[in-house]
Chain A
Amino acid sequence: MVLRSSLKNCLQLSCILRTPKAGFRSTTSGSLIIQSTSNDVYQNLAVEDWIHDHMNLENRQVLFLWRNTPAVVIGRHQNPWQECNLRLLRQKNIKLARRRSGGGTVYHDLGNINLTFFTSRKKYERMENLKLVVRALKALRPQLDVHVTDRYDILLDRHYKISGTAAKLGRTSAYHHCTLLCNADKVVLSSVLKSPYKGLKSNATPSVPASVKNLFEEDPSLTSEMLLDAIAEEYATQHQTDHHITLINPADETVLPGINNKTKELQTWEWVYGKTPKFSVSTCFNMVYKDSVLDVKVDMDVKHGRIEVCNIDLPEQWLPPALSSELVKSLTGSKFCPNEITTLVTTLLRVCPQDEELQSRWNLLCENMIMLM
């Protein structure tokens, strides 16, 4: 009985989330502060989804604290090719995730903390949340020059961005989450958030780059834990609730029934790449082949992450026309993904004439095509 067990589990969840201490006025109202025990970006995003979909936020609000191992998180309607260096991400084993809220791209690592404010749809109020964070920071270190801009960023010393914001609104509930840079790796951050892909044209939401600074640089005595604690305390005071942080395990199906499905969905190619709004790639590159330099022009339309239309302009007869049309035909409909295209073109090579010259040309062209992805 699906509903029965989920009902029971929700009871369990609210039992677990209810603090045993005094000062808790009622069991269905009052605010909660929860923290994730996991550092996996997909699991943590899944928890956000779960709370948004399943918790009744009519009379209560929730603050969710989480941190991730290195990951790049793009907004709901963004284009990962436009936003980051995917090749570098793959090399460095940095995860790529797409969240359900809007906004721009951020780099997460353990030196960056994430705060999610869950409220009912009516009580959605981003400015208040950010002011709360600023109050917490000032309470911790009064000398910090931090303030909220009207773009919902938090700036340090009037210049450096230390927090970015995004939000998701549903039918009855909403959440606003933001980052806070404590001690993130700025070198990796700037290198991964720079896209090397040229010739991309799309209507995807672009990110607005900003200079960033870690709070740690301003005051080396600060740690992520201290900041989390300060914010939790300020939230508890504001919402007149107990300053008690409940730990939550994002892999626990008994507390969060259905969470593992949500986690899996966030990791699928269809979600991360396939949800990219339609875009086109129009670029040219040079190929050096046996003392000559060739110009190749490529035009592709990519929809749902798959190549819808593909056009390759090669010097005449460089490849037999049958072969180049075979390449174009095979690329059409494939995922705009280097792994998929690599396996595709190498498999196709098996049925090409076994001419070494031909094969080396094919390989050269394909390698250059794959570099575009």
Chain B
Amino acid sequence: MAAVTALRSSCRTAGRLVCIHRVRSCSGIRFIKSKYVCVFDKSALKFSHQQRLFRTSAVSCGQIVQFKLSDIGEGITEVTVKEWYIKEGDSVSQFDSICEVQSDKASVTITSRYDGIIRKLHYNLDEIAYVGKPLVDIEIDASKGVSPEEDVVETPPMSHEEHTHQEIKGHKTLATPAVRRLAMENNIKLSEVVGTGKDNRILKEDILNYLAKQTGAILPPSPKAEIIPPLPKSETLPAAPKDRARKIPVPVSRPIVFSGKDKTEPVTGFHKAMVKTMSAALKIPHFGYCDEIDLTQLVQLREELKPLAQVRGVKLSFMPFFIKAASLGLLQYPILNASLDESCQNVTYKASHNIGVAMDTEQGLIVPNVKNVQVCSVFEIASELNRLQSLGSAGQLGTNDLTGGTFTLSNIGTIGGTYAKPVILPPEVAIGALGKIQVLPRFNGKGEVFKAQIMNVSWSADHRIIDGATMARFSNLWKSYLENPASMLLDLK
């Protein structure tokens, strides 16, 4: 495949026109139709297309053109360079943005007039650039034969040809001169081709796809595969277009081209902090304990209380009840509201029940806490939750709201799920994850089936200081408060 190697070793700059010329001149390879010539281009091009913004190690074989800063208008002679969109070594296509300059309240986007590789930037950021003086040096392929510099900004030189300015009622089709020529040679109207490039620009691949669809032909595979079958197939075809059309759904080893790329980003900011916290949590030996709670009575109670809270300007969800019941439970099992020091020498029983509520925000998981739940009423908890939720969604939670938590509840059920395996947030020793409330059939005392509102809870606790029995008893107490809300009245402080 001499043609291919010749192609590959040529400048990988976007001199698409050049590539066509090169391949055409290779007489060693036969093609049925001239449009297949483009196949080689296509694969090589795809390569260069993807590599557009990478430093290419192309052999320097082109002419260096100094792209001068064109007239801005209004008699302006100098501008300040504010942002470079490219750097030395990048490939650019005609009409790609090169930089942003500013002059007297006007921001101007300078676009490239040529396809090529950037070889030199004449200015640094915030330097003054002069109209008429070189802005960047672009290396373009020699055989392209670019016309000498013209200072005035003009529409591309081919604008007088038929196919270039295909403006359709306010929509200008963008395509490089090479692509336009290809379209013209194949009698394709640019307006009918789907553009997949930037700003709906029509690329070489789009023309090829269009051609494939139009003729019902199957594009031969990439040169490496070296499969000849498509050729004889087409030759034996006296088929009517219908037959051809039927053939389309059966591609012959056409390589699946997926142009997505992996993206690597550094872990910074908040995520870095999460990595640290969760790695520290790993050191805690977790054990889990799960149960199901019948919330039928609570659901009814909340329905009754919702309008009362609404009148006072507070939205009442289930969380205030869960939080208050947890606090009542912690009064009986204070070890769940404790903290173990780093050396595991001392356990500190925290006096305040600052119960954290996991919140999902745009940047990830944050856990503000309601302070001193042990002395708050359900209504007060609800109102505080409202405040934290609105601050959380506005991204305005303060350090005080986010620190000092002693116990955490995560209502993952609002999103979905039943059982979970929550991770304890140090320096706490326990956490509970609440699943969604489902309507399920259960048996009552009389052995009858009734509709029950069931929610699952999954607790995790630090097994260094908490044992299963303690967790189970706490959970049972919490469960009894919620299954029979009236019993909370007895113990409310």
Contact = CB atoms under 8 A, between A and B. Distances in A.
A339 B396 contact: yes
Contact of A7 (B191, B199, B268, B273): B191
A169 B170 contact: no
Interface stretch (A119-127, A217-225, A241-249, A281-289): A119-127
Contacts of A343: 270, 273, 363-364, 366, 397, 402
B125 to A, nearest CB: 7
Contacts of A58: 167
Nearest to B427: A354
A32 B194 CA distance: 29
Contacts of A101: 105-107
Of B102, B169, B170, B394, most buried by chain A (CB within 10 Å of CB) is B170
Interface string A1-26: 11110110011011000000000000
Nearest to B153: A121
Interface stretch (B274-282, B414-422, B430-438): B274-282
Contact of B272 (A4, A7, A330): A330
B44 to A, nearest CB: 25
A366 interface: yes
B342 A169 contact: no
A347 B273 contact: yes
A167 B155 contact: no
Contact of B107 (A102, A126, A165): A102
Interface of A: 1-4, 6-7, 10-11, 13-14, 27-28, 53-56, 58, 75-77, 90, 93, 100-104, 121-122, 124-126, 152, 165-172, 174, 176, 203, 205, 277, 306, 330, 333-335, 339-351, 353-354, 359, 363, 366-367, 370
A342 B342 contact: no
Contacts of A340: 269-270, 363
B200 A3 contact: yes
A77 B83 contact: yes
B25 to A, nearest CB: 32
Contacts of A166: 105-107
B195 interface: yes
B67 interface: no
A10 B108 contact: no
Interface of B: 72-74, 82-83, 95, 100, 102-109, 111, 125-126, 153, 155, 167-173, 191-196, 199-200, 202, 266, 268-270, 272-274, 276-277, 280, 339, 341-342, 348, 363-364, 366, 394-400, 402-403, 425-427
Given A346-B402, A350-B277, 20 more contacts: A3-B202, A4-B194, A10-B170, A27-B169, A58-B167, A77-B82, A100-B107, A103-B106, A167-B106, A168-B106, A169-B73, A170-B108, A172-B172, A174-B73, A333-B269, A340-B363, A343-B363, A343-B402, A345-B273, A347-B270
B107 to A, nearest CB: 4
A339 B363 contact: yes
Nearest to A101: B107
Given A54-B170, A330-B272, A354 B339 contact: yes
A351 B269 contact: no
A102 B105 contact: yes
Contacts of B339: 354
Given A14-B169, A350-B427, A152 B191 contact: no
B399 A167 contact: no
A101 B427 CA distance: 50
A61 to B, nearest CB: 13
Given A277-B125, A330-B272, A347-B274, A56 B105 contact: no
A56 B174 CA distance: 12
A265 B204 CA distance: 28
A306 B270 CA distance: 12
A359 B402 CA distance: 13
Contacts of A100: 107
Contacts of A333: 266, 268-269, 272
B82 A344 contact: no
Residue of B125, B126, B403 contacting most chain A CB atoms (<10 Å) = B403
Chain A interface secondary structure, helix, strand, loop or mixed? mixed
B72 A169 contact: yes
Of the listed residues A11, A77, A122, A174, the one surrounded by the most CB atoms of chain B closer than 10 A to its CB is A77
A199 to B, nearest CB: 20
A93 B269 CA distance: 25
B272 A10 contact: no
21 contacts: A2-B194, A7-B168, A11-B169, A28-B170, A56-B171, A56-B172, A93-B394, A101-B105, A122-B73, A167-B106, A168-B109, A169-B108, A172-B172, A176-B106, A203-B126, A277-B82, A306-B268, A330-B273, A346-B402, A347-B276, A349-B403
A68 to B, nearest CB: 19
Given A4-B192, A102-B102, A10 B171 contact: yes
Nearest to A51: B170
Contacts of B199: 53
B107 A76 contact: yes
Nearest to B275: A347
A6 B171 contact: yes
A130 B398 CA distance: 46
Contacts of A346: 399, 402-403
B191 to A, nearest CB: 6
Contacts of B104: 102, 152
Closest 10 pairs (CB-CB, A-B): A334-B269, A333-B268, A102-B107, A103-B105, A346-B402, A167-B106, A347-B273, A339-B395, A169-B108, A10-B171
A76 B80 CA distance: 13
Contacts of A169: 72-73, 106-109
A1 B82 contact: no
B262 to A, nearest CB: 20
Contact of A28 (B74, B169, B192, B194): B169
Contacts of A165: 105
B402 A342 contact: yes
B194 A3 contact: yes
B102 A77 contact: yes
A205 B172 CA distance: 34
A176 B265 CA distance: 38
